[in-house]
Structure 1
Amino acid sequence: MILKKYKDFSYLFLGRLISNCGDSIYTLVLSWYVLEMTNQSWYVGVLNFLIFIPNTFSFVFGKKIDRIQKKKLLVILEWVQLLAVLGIIGGMMLRTRAEGLSLWIILICVFLASTVGLNTYTVQDALVPKFVSNKDLPKAEMYMSVAYNGTDYIFTALSGFLLSVISYIPLLIVDVLTFLASIFCFKKIIFNEKIEKTEEKTDIFSGLRFIWHNKVVFSITLGIGLINFLFAGLNVYQLLIAKEFGNAAFYGLLVSGSAIGTLFGTTVVSNFILKKMSIGHAFWLATAIFGLGIGLSTLAPNSFWLLVTWFISHLFLGVTHVAQKPILQTEIPDERLGEVFSAFYTVTIPTLAIGSLVFGAIADFLSWRVFIILFGVATILIAFLYFSNKKLRLYDVS
């Protein structure tokens, strides 16, 4: 078992798993709180914009990440995000006295937490190849995908149910406790990273240039950037679908379908598929099937079949999560993982922010069925972008 084989990786995985549980609670609680507070989908778009836009500047910190002990950096990032959540709780407590000020405090703390935490994933992605051999990277990514995505969906879904019986602040206090637990896990990492001192001038754009010149990394970066733009819309429209079919409880069911599907996709389905085909082939094919399934969900005659279609589609989303990262981790030189992943997130994450504003603004005019069809068609086209790159299509990390 990979967690027993690589002890430091097990601490990294457990810390990320716990932290993501808290992040999921935090995201859903704030989305519903802002929607309930303002009664406008536009502000949900603004909230998501503030969560994702700081990643625009992540490339600036890439070389710094490669020159700082990443264990210490992870602990610092978790502490600051914890303090920001405490600020959000304080903002909520001010609502009855000064609603406008309360909203401003919440949005500022959200921006602060996102700005400080934008490098968390970069640091973890750069650490995994240092803990795990190349041949075990796909297995390691199965675990990290569960931590990143599976638990994210599950705890978002669980939070949807909890919101119907528990108020916002107690759920955010749980979030604070998860940050404390993840800090404890990251401190248990033994790996003593040696940082070579260099007098070279910092070139903050070198990671972006690497992406531009490496066709495999460029294709994945372009595809993920476009998909994230669409997912920003999906984040907004899932709330509206839930309001049409029910309430926060149905939102929990909807996200549960995504959660369980993604979780099975990153584990059982990925394990089966990657034994049958190369990781590159699995990547483009799973992307195409996911897009097709999401598009077909518009034909669902009722809410039950919508949930079933959502579940089946997300099985293949889980496969794409597992396949994507090992390709990047083997294609990027070890000594440049921090700067290139920072540049990667600079390009791909801000599209979530842009999409949040765009779809937040048009959600009142564009029906969810039309959006879902557009989402499906666009995702299939992105799959063919991956297919068109021969090296990516045939990529293998073994």
Structure 2
Amino acid sequence: MRQLFVNVNFVLLFLGRVITNIGDSMYYVASMWLVYELGGSAFYTGLAGFLILLPKAFQFLFGPFVDRWKIRKTLLTTQILQSILILIIPFTYFLDLLTIQLIFIMMPLIAVIEEFAYPSQTKALPIILKKTELIKGNSAFAFAYQGVDLIFHSVAGILVTSIGAITLFLIDSITFAVAALLFSFLRIEKRTDGITEELKSKYYFSELKEGLSTVFQSLLWVLLLGAAFVNFSIGMTMALLPSIAQSFGGASFYGMLLASMSLGLLVGSLSGSLIGNFPVGYSIIICFTMGAFCWFSTSFVATPFFFLLLFGLAWIPIGAVNVLFAGITQSIIPLEMIGRVNSVMSSFSVIFMPVGSLLGGYIGTIINPNTIFTYTSLGLGVMAFMWVLFSELKKLPRVEEIDGRKLKLNDTPKEAS
């Protein structure tokens, strides 16, 4: 891991991601709690979650642009736009023009911008790192992502209570400006093998189709099916968390719930390299079975500490699998197609997440949110069952032994240097 931080481009990308994640963590807590305060119902937080998550379902439409656009320019533009858009919320508040409808307009706009930013960061990794460094690089990125969430979800929950959500939006805007400054020093030569940055419509649809066919004519689609069930459950859960937090103590406990989730994801991300030394198929089956058990067990505890503990444990397999999947796809997908394939996989794996958020928010108004929360654990159980059902996945070997043929892909990439 240490040798990664000798690479200047990796350090800048890593620090930029840390700062971006700080901004995202504070923005999410501040916006969701502000919506809950203004709306006073799980339905509004469900609708907010739907609007934030909906652009992820259409990320496959952005993939061809990510593959062609210059990474540095894309990262700079996205961070500057986010900084400006977030400032609109406190600006309208001070003019007494802020409404919940305005927040609902801003949420999907900011979310769309993120769908260009994060895939561009992922695209950069196999360019600046060697193939043998990808798992470690993804673990470091996951550590940055989840470690920051762990700290700043809790901090944001406390800050919302002490200084208010509006002030937090002002701080948030500054973080994206700082991230833009860091990304401005990147020096990445985007290897496109003759592909120009301009994307004409006829090439756009051709490349979009190529990304879709790569996923759905291989076993990658089976991975997405199980992930879709997990993400549907996560969508419902995120809509219900503010209501559950209110029963335990309010905004501060909401931050603690998100921090517990982030801690589980962080532990899972850090253990991704270790789990990668074992056969992937059996590891995923065991991990998600244990995760479902921990999640379901929250219904049998009444103390906040054990609720947080079991909830956090349930997220460990999700963090580990995210790292494994990232390393696998970056190793077996041709470099010039990574943006398209990752976007397709991201879109179709989370396509039911916004639906789950909207449905969870609605059902939470007529049924006890704690009851719904308990049974969302079934999503993790379905993931484990999917890997048992498909023998090709169950028999997958260690990460380093997986190539395109094992997932029925026709081509494998050359090693990046």
Match of 1:397 in 2: 399
Name the aligned partner's letter for residue 184 of structure 2: K
Matches of 2:75 and 2:382 in 1, distance apart? Answer: 36
- Contact 2:127/2:191 (<8 A) preserved: no
Q: Structure 1, residues 308-365: CA drift from partner, whole Å, max 9, x if none? A: 2123333333222222211222232211101111222222334222111111111122
Task: Compute the displacement of 1:98 (Å).
Answer: 4.5
Task: Compute the displacement of 1:390 (Å).
Answer: 4.0
Change (3 A) 1:119 1:76: same
Match of 1:133 in 2: 130
Q: How many residues align?
A: 391
Name the aligned partner's letter for residue 147 of structure 2: G
Match of 2:408 in 1: none
- Contact 2:298/2:311 (<8 A) preserved: yes
Change (3 A) 1:327 1:285: farther
Q: TM-score, normalised by structure 1?
A: 0.91
Matches of 2:8 and 2:313 in 1, distance apart? Answer: 34
Name the aligned partner's letter for residue 397 of structure 1: V
Name the aligned partner's letter for residue 127 of structure 1: A
Change (3 A) 1:111 1:247: same
Instruction: Establish whether residue 340 from structure 1 lines up as the match of residue 341 from structure 2.
Output: yes
Matches of 1:187 and 1:296 in 2, distance apart? Answer: 47
Change (3 A) 1:350 1:81: farther
Change (3 A) 1:84 1:201: same
- Contact 1:91/1:106 (<8 A) preserved: no
Match of 2:120 in 1: 123
Match of 1:43 in 2: 44
Name the aligned partner's letter for residue 245 of structure 1: F
Match of 1:210 in 2: 214
Matches of 1:205 and 1:154 in 2, distance apart? Answer: 40
Matches of 1:322 and 1:186 in 2, distance apart? Answer: 23
Q: CA RMSD for the aligned pairs? A: 2.2
Q: TM-score, normalised by structure 2?
A: 0.87
Instruction: Establish whether residue 354 from structure 1 lines up as the match of residue 352 from structure 2.
Output: no
Instruction: Establish whether residue 158 from structure 1 lines up as the match of residue 155 from structure 2.
Output: yes
Change (3 A) 1:310 1:57: closer
Change (3 A) 1:392 1:6: farther
Task: Compute the displacement of 1:272 (Å).
Answer: 3.9
Name the aligned partner's letter for residue 76 of structure 1: T
- Contact 1:225/1:349 (<8 A) preserved: yes
Change (3 A) 1:112 1:130: same
- Contact 1:91/1:103 (<8 A) preserved: no
Percent same amino acid among aligned pairs? 26
Which shows bigger deviation, 15-24 or 138-147? Answer: 138-147
- Contact 1:282/1:323 (<8 A) preserved: no
1:243-392 equivalences under 5 Å are 243-267=246-270, 269-275=271-277, 277-392=278-393
Match of 2:83 in 1: 82
Matches of 2:97 and 2:90 in 1, distance apart? Answer: 14
1:234 corresponds, among 234, 237, 247, to 237
Structure 1 gap segments, 5+ residues each:
none
Instruction: Establish whether residue 67 from structure 1 lines up as the match of residue 60 from structure 2.
Output: no
Task: Compute the displacement of 1:280 (Å).
Answer: 4.5
Structure 2 gap segments, 5+ residues each:
401-417
Change (3 A) 1:143 1:182: same
Instruction: Establish whether residue 147 from structure 1 lines up as the match of residue 144 from structure 2.
Output: yes
Task: Compute the displacement of 1:294 (Å).
Answer: 0.7
Matches of 1:383 and 1:5 in 2, distance apart? Answer: 39
Task: Compute the displacement of 1:395 (Å).
Answer: 4.0
2:105 corresponds, among 104, 108, 112, to 108
Change (3 A) 1:136 1:348: same
